[in-house]
Amino acid sequence: MPTFTGPEWLLLAVAAFAVGAAKSGMPALGPIPAAIFASFQPARASTGAVLGLLLVGDLIAVRMYHAHADWKILRRLLPSVLVGILAGVVVLWAANDEVVRRIIGATLLAAHSGGSPP
């Protein structure tokens, strides 16, 4: 388990806050947590940490807004979501940290430039 300094913990807390802020209407903050977490942890571990935060955010959102959810749309999205998760699992299983770090970097650059990931 990695050991972080006080300033690193603070920066990771800011990244966790940015995940929540991005989910609640400030999407420009979305790429920030991935970059911060990847700079302090191995790339594969940082991907898991950010995914965990995103899932918790989704669970909180579903809990808070379940009465307003359009369950038909969510059911239609489910197959694509499952395919994406499966693809991510395969990539993380097959790739080493350097490859994952490059994928994170390429994705952040594509998101910053307004394009889609490679």
Q: What is the pTM of this model?
A: 0.70
Listed in sequence order, the residues at least 6 apart from 30 whose beta carbon sits closer than 8 Å to its beta carbon are 18, 22, 111
Map out the domains of the chain as residue ranges: 6-113
Query: Over the stretch 13-63, which tens digit does the pLDDT of each residue have?
Result: 998 888 888 888 888 888 888 888 888 888 888 888 888 888 888 888 888
Using CA atoms, how far residue 90 sits from 4, 44, 71, 95, in Å, is: 29, 12, 28, 8
Q: How far apart are CA 59 and CA 46, in angstroms?
A: 20
